[in-house]
A and B are shown apart, each in its own frame.
Chain A
Amino acid sequence: MFGFLLRRVGLVIPTFIGVSLVAFFFIRLLPGDPILLMAGERGLSPERYAELLTRFGFDRPIWEQYLGYLGALVQGDFGTSIVTKKPVMDEFFALFPATVELSICAILFAVVLGIPAGVIAAVKRGSGFDHGLMATALVGYSMPIFWWALLLIIVFSGILQWTPVSGRISLLYFFPSVTGFMLIDSLISGQKGAFASAASHLILPTIVLGTIPLAVIARQTRSAMLEVLSEDYIRTARAKGLSPFRVVGVHALRNALIPVVTTIGLQVGTLIAGAILTETIFSWPGIGKWMVDSIFRRDYPSVQGGLVLIAVMVMIVNLIVDMLYGLINPKIRYTR
């Protein structure tokens, strides 16, 4: 187990360098630069432009800029935003909890609904429920996030007025951020109704962000279950008189979960992509929205630093998922 962990961490280093390279050159490949965007319609004289290039260090050879950036990264310096003039690391960690909170809720929503739905569909294969679920999953998977979010807002916040439109908590509540997780902070604050307000603000974004993972997980669970249910040991389990619940819930599900857990791990990437749109619509102050803003402003340090930090987080999650395999299925050993 320890050796496995060490090897995996060893793999992180080349991945990290690769990500830093991609992040660095990706943003520079986009046309336009931050200085021009800041000047806007007015434009600026060639002399002034050259002066600002020097000031930002953009006039140096590109490899030199990259090495400087990499050197700083190794020392844990992610640079300073050229727009807000604040350290990228500070900005990232101020916003990251909001994204994590939303992502955890979305993935829980997807797992809690998706796995049982997939199991039932597999057990009742060919039934109306099965067909209905698969059709719904296909629709959910194909749902454009922007449209889906606006539809939910108009129906639930606009017409029915059940949920708030956007934001993380009602503006009536004002307390310092302790953990950055609104659900926890609202409890700590001790203000009456704060937790309920934070929870109600999570409902729609959770549904929107969780829809695609939900569809994927339900389908994956169903097909994995179908495969396992046809195995000999399931027939044996049935033959020896175990209750249907025990056959499905313990013998079958535990084996079917392995590919499902892999799928959930892979959904982390999807979640980050989905978070960009979800956060933008629901005015959710997370890293997705921040990345979009930074790309539009060509804020090189923020985009570079943000992408590297996101990549590191995804790597950590994947590592955790790999470790989980062992817990679900002891057959997997982490030694060679």
Chain B
Amino acid sequence: MKMATRLLAATILAASFATAAEAKTLVYCSEGSPEGFDPAPYAAGTTFDASSKPIYNRLTEFERGTTNVVPGLAEKWDVSADGKEYTFHLRKGVKFHTTDFFTPTRDFNADDVIFSFNRQNNKDDPWYGYAGGNWEYWVGMEMPALIKEMVKVDDYTVKLVLNEPNSPMLANLAMDFASIMSKEYADKLAADGKQADLNQAPVGTGPFQFVAYQKDAVIRYKANPEYWEGKQAIDDLIFAITTDPAVRIQKLKAGECHAAPYPNPADIEALKSDPAIQMLDQAGLNIGYLAYNTMMKPFDDVRVRKALNMAINKQAILDAVYQTSGQLATNPIPPTMWSYNDKTQDDPYDPEAAKKLLEEAGVKDLSMKVWAMPVSRPYNPNARRMAELIQSDFAAVGVKVEIVSFEWGEYLKRGQDKNRDGALLQGWTGDNGDPDNFLGVLLGCGGVGGSNRANWCDPAFDELIKKARTIADQGERAALYEQAQVIFKEQAPWATIAHSTTFMPLAKNVVNYKVDPLGSHRFDGVDITE
């Protein structure tokens, strides 16, 4: 009750201070500083939360709280029969933000789309190198290989011609890196010799417009009065950058913010019972796994992998590492994702059977390495602890484990090495809700020596994945992915461990917030009640 009164007091105070008597301010205690305000050169969720989500739109968008792809700046689109041509019909009358530093003279049109993509795709584009030239998502989603050409058909029609059919394309275009920038603004900056401002003083078409950023402290936005979907219910959006999770929770309790992401797992139970706080949760679109190096002996033998999978007591890991904020993983994709195969069976926890199977495979006195990540990630909050549990589980079947770890950057690099000695704890959070983003990226033959940490290349599996990419119909694709998951379980390149749950503690008066399965934090459509 005390908290509620304080929150109320703070809200009233906020209201009385603002010039407009009824102005509503939502304060989000964000977990870190954005690297910049142009999302395309970056890969961090913190940066996307502060840039692409409030400020920009994309041709297609993810519906709030889901991974459904819905129209954004493109009102509708046609896909050619061969699946190689995507024609986007752009929304008319969309205004870019009018700010202190820029006043647009024209509406959003096809030039903006071409500019936003071309700068990432074409090394000769004058904007290619402006932010260091590291367009990692554009490259990572294989856009340069996929796109043959981009054509402006007319002011409100853009055509993407692909080298091969690629059904995840529409979901790719809803991702942060595909945010649409204003070409007019970019031209003005180039003329003034102030290119860097594209990354510091952003202009977009999104629900909120940028007001000010005080480095490492506060980002201020206000509702875009001319937003094409209508003005937001909240007038001002403030990001109060608060890196420490315990401090974020204190701020939330003290009424200094309305939302505080990434609570410590240990605090979750207490927060759930706090009457001043509402705790939202959502199954995260992620997977934590142990990847064997299937190119190395004896892990090239499926019996060894199966045996080790059966030796792991996953329930114990879930209780100790995820502290009930997760669910056991059977498939490499989470159950909330379309095409999830609920008929596959997980390898049972059975140390006796594991021992027998190892014997059968002729493996005796096996000693191996298990790699533990040095950092906490949503899909694996404590890899060290997990590795220790696996170590004792494996010891029970006579396998000796040495736990190794490296600094994070080094871990990522060495983990990719085809000759890696040991099984690796790693994980993945989905980018766009498409099954290909898990099955193709993490398990396809193309990812061997890279994102495919098991170095597992199964021709039958790869065939299914490749075929699914070329089919537009979701039902047909799902059937192929379901088969692929069966092969995955039979071949067991990973021990699938868990899918973690995303929690979002909010003040009681925040309404209509939806937890994003893709892990972002969006405040469009959100309101606060008095």
Give the B-binding residues of A (Cβ under 8 A).
Answer: 30-45, 48, 52, 55-56, 82-86, 91, 94-95, 150, 153-154, 157-158, 161, 164-168, 171-172, 174, 177, 280-283, 285-286, 289-290, 293, 298
Contacts and interface: CB of A to CB of B under 8 A. Distances in A.
A55 B250 contact: no
Contacts of B32: 293
Contacts of A153: 246-247, 250
Given A40-B43, A42-B136, A167-B240, 6 more contacts: A32-B410, A43-B450, A44-B136, A84-B36, A161-B6, A164-B256
A283 B247 CA distance: 9
Contact of A43 (B133, B251, B416): B416
Given A55-B132, A172-B17, A41 B427 contact: yes
Nearest to B198: A85
A289 B256 contact: no
Contacts of B215: 91, 94-95, 285, 290
30 contacts: A31-B406, A32-B409, A33-B409, A38-B43, A38-B136, A41-B426, A42-B450, A44-B136, A44-B140, A44-B450, A48-B139, A85-B41, A85-B196, A91-B215, A158-B254, A161-B6, A164-B254, A165-B250, A166-B256, A167-B256, A168-B217, A172-B14, A174-B220, A177-B214, A280-B243, A283-B242, A286-B216, A289-B216, A293-B33, A293-B216
A257 B310 CA distance: 71
Contacts of B451: 41-43
Interface residues of B, number: 60
B359 to A, nearest CB: 36
B251 A171 contact: no
B29 to A, nearest CB: 8
Contacts of A289: 216, 243
Contacts of A286: 216
Contacts of A31: 406-407, 409-410
Nearest to B18: A172
Contacts of B139: 44, 48
B218 A165 contact: no
B217 A167 contact: yes
B441 interface: yes
B413 interface: yes
A35 B35 CA distance: 14
B256 A165 contact: yes
A186 to B, nearest CB: 14
Given A86-B196, A161-B254, A167-B240, A39 B136 contact: yes
B238 interface: yes
Contacts of A150: 246-247
Contacts of A158: 250, 253-254
A286 B217 CA distance: 9
A304 to B, nearest CB: 17
Contacts of A44: 136, 139-140, 450
A82 B140 contact: no
Interface in B117-142: 129-134, 136, 139-140
Contacts of B510: none
Contacts of B200: 86
Nearest to A153: B250
User: Which of B27, B243, B247, B410 has its CB near the most chain A CB atoms (within 10 A)?
Assistant: B247
Contacts of A85: 36, 41, 130-132, 196, 199
Interface in B1-53: 6, 13-14, 17, 25, 27, 32-33, 35-36, 41-43
A166 B133 contact: no
A94 B139 CA distance: 33
B101 to A, nearest CB: 14
B409 A157 contact: no
A26 to B, nearest CB: 14
Contacts of B412: 32, 36-37, 39-41, 43
Contact of B217 (A37, A38, A43, A283): A283
B244 interface: yes
Contacts of A283: 216-217, 240-244, 247
B428 interface: yes
A153 B17 CA distance: 26
B216 A290 contact: yes
B124 to A, nearest CB: 15
Interface string B207-251: 000001011111010000000000000000010111110110011
B27 A171 contact: yes
B247 A282 contact: yes
Contact of A32 (B136, B217, B241, B407): B407
A94 B33 CA distance: 14
A84 B451 CA distance: 26
Interface in B154-202: 196, 199-200
Contacts of B196: 85-86
User: Which of A35, A84, A86 has its CB near the most chain B CB atoms (within 10 A)?
Assistant: A84
Contacts of A161: 6, 254
B247 A37 contact: no
A179 to B, nearest CB: 14
B497 to A, nearest CB: 15
A61 to B, nearest CB: 21
Closest 8 CB pairs of A and B: A32-B409, A285-B216, A285-B217, A31-B410, A36-B409, A31-B407, A283-B242, A165-B251
Contacts of B427: 41
Contact of B254 (A39, A157, A282): A157
Contact of A166 (B242, B407, B416): B242
A32 B408 contact: yes
B165 to A, nearest CB: 23
Contacts of B130: 85
A269 to B, nearest CB: 22
Interface in B441-472: 441, 450-451
B214 A285 contact: yes
B132 A37 contact: no
A157 B14 contact: no
B242 to A, nearest CB: 5
Nearest to A296: B408
Contacts of B212: 174
Contacts of A281: 244, 247
Interface in B401-419: 406-410, 412-413, 415-416
Contacts of A33: 409
